[in-house]
C-alpha cells in the first residue's frame, strides 16, 4: 500500500475500532488486534520517562478476550458507555509489513443520570501489521493518556 492508502486504511480501522467500543460491541474489540498483540494504557508522564508500567497490560489477544469476558460476567461497575472523538492519524510511517501511527483522541463518558463528561484525552501510539492486500491489524497499541490521574471507572477499553 502507498502512504496515502495506508493513511486511509489506518483512519478507517480507527473509526471501526471506536465504533465497536462506543456501540458496546466489546466482543469485536479483540478482533482488531493480531494474536500476538500488545495493548497497554499508561500516562504521558510514564511514557515520556520510558517507564513500562501501565494501568492495563495485555500481551496477547487472549488477554483482551479475557478482559471483555470479565467486563461482561465478573466485574460490577456503574453502567456507562463511551463516545470516542478521533483525530486523523498525526503520523503514518510504513516500515516493511508494519505501519507506525499516532492518533490523538478524546473519550466522553455517558452515564444514565449525569450529563456526558470528558473522560480522558490522549494519543494512540500504534504499530499495525499489514495482514492482507487492504487489511491491517493492531500489533501494538500503547494508549498514552494525557493525565496521570485515572478514573476508577476505567473499565471499558479505550
Place of cell 465504533: 19
Predicted pLDDT at 143: 97
Mean pLDDT across the stretch 125-148? 92
Mean pLDDT across the stretch 36-41? 97
**Can you tell me whether residue 131 is helix, strand or coil?**
coil
Res 76 pLDDT > 90: no
Predicted pLDDT at 8: 92
Beta-carbon-side half-sphere exposure of residue 81 (alpha carbons within 13 Å): 11
Predicted pLDDT at 158: 95
* Rounded distance between C-alpha atoms, residue 26 and residue 129, angstroms: 21
Contacts of 133 (CB under 8 A, 6+ apart): none
Q: Whole-model pTM?
A: 0.91
Contacts of 135 (CB under 8 A, 6+ apart): none
Amino acid at each position: 500500500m502507498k502512504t496515502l492508502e495506508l493513511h486511509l486504511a489506518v483512519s478507517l480501522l480507527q473509526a471501526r475500532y471506536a465504533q465497536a467500543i462506543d456501540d458496546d460491541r466489546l466482543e469485536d474489540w479483540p478482533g482488531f488486534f493480531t494474536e500476538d498483540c500488545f495493548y497497554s494504557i499508561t500516562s504521558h508522564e510514564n511514557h515520556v520517562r520510558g517507564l513500562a508500567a501501565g494501568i492495563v497490560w495485555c500481551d496477547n489477544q487472549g488477554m483482551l478476550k479475557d478482559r471483555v469476558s470479565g467486563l461482561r460476567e465478573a466485574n460490577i461497575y456503574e453502567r456507562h458507555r463511551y463516545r470516542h472523538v478521533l483525530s486523523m492519524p498525526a503520523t503514518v510511517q510504513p516500515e516493511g509489513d508494519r505501519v507506525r501511527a499516532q492518533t490523538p483522541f478524546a473519550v466522553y463518558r455517558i452515564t444514565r443520570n449525569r450529563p456526558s463528561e470528558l473522560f480522558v484525552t490522549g494519543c494512540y501510539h500504534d504499530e499495525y501489521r499489514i495482514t492482507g492486500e487492504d487489511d491491517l491489524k493492531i500489533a501494538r497499541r500503547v494508549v498514552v493518556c494525557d493525565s496521570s490521574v485515572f478514573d476508577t471507572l476505567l473499565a471499558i477499553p479505550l
